[in-house]
Amino acid sequence: MFEYMNHSMTFFHGIWMFVFWAIFIFILFSLFKKDSNKSSLEILEQRLAKGEISIEEFEKLKNTLSKNDD
């Protein structure tokens, strides 16, 4: 059925198809990665806004973070 095709040519097509999909999937994951570039203070502010921590906890953690930065 595929007598006209060179076997090495089909092998290279497979490799390039794999490379294409690997790059495509890598780009998709890098576009949709969440919270990777947020600072710890931004995450802390989000937790306060969501109500996960109280204002007292926020201030305490914020002071701890500022001490660690120095």
26 shares its domain with 53? no
Angle formed at CA 69 by CA 64 and CA 70, multiple of 5 degrees:
105
Q: Are residues 49 and 18 in the same domain?
A: no
Report, as an integer, the average pLDDT of 43-69: 89
Q: Which structural domain range is residue 61 located in?
A: 35-70
Residue 49 tokens read as 């806004």
Structural domain total, the chain: 2
Q: Are residues 25 and 9 in the same domain?
A: yes
Q: What angle do CA 60, 61, 67 make, to 5 degrees?
A: 95
User: Span 46-68, mean pLDDT?
Assistant: 90
This model's pTM is above 0.85: no
Q: Indicate whether 42 and 65 sit together in one domain.
A: yes
Q: What is the pLDDT of residues 1-54, one digit of tens each?
A: 556 655 556 667 778 889 999 999 999 888 877 655 678 888 899 999 999 999
Whole-number pLDDT of residue 60: 93
